[in-house]
Amino acid sequence: MLFGLQKKSVKEFLKFVCVGFTGTILHLAVLYIFTEFFGIYYLVSSVFGFCFGVTNNFILNKIWTFKEKLNHGVFKKYYKYFVLNVIILFINLFILYFLTEFLQMYYILSQIIAVGFSFLINFFISKFWIFKK
């Protein structure tokens, strides 16, 4: 046990970090492309990026991090995962807007900071509510 955590939980957490990184890169890419190339307002672009990232993360977490078959309760679990992440999205959008508009940070940096705030909450709720065995 490491810091009171089971080896399995540590392994799942590290996988969750990897998956989260891919989802964050996807989210940031969509945010940047939609904002810079299509002229879409950055908050709207972030919502699109969120949808791509959440779907990517759900599939990878389901089959790789938590080792479930993709078709095992997929709609019910995706619904729970999506609801959780919509709540996190509103927190992210608030932080993104605040940092960008009031602190004059670059919107991509603001988004990275916003993602960081929600990461641990997302892991524990995913592990113990959405993908619990």
Mean pLDDT, rounded, for 91-106 = 95
Against a cut of 0.75, is the pTM above it? yes
Compute the distance between CA of residue 28 and CA of residue 30 in angstroms, rounded to an integer. Answer: 6
Please enumerate in sequence order all residues whose Cβ is within 8 A of that of 52, keeping only pairs 6 or more positions apart, or say none: 26, 27, 30
Compute the distance between CA of residue 16 and CA of residue 11 in angstroms, rounded to an integer. Answer: 9
Share of the chain above pLDDT 90, in %: 62
Better-scored residue on pLDDT, 69 or 98: 98
pLDDT digits (tens, 9 = 90+) for 12-36: 999 999 999 999 999 999 999 999 9
Reported confidence tier of residue 4, pLDDT bands at 50, 70, 90: low
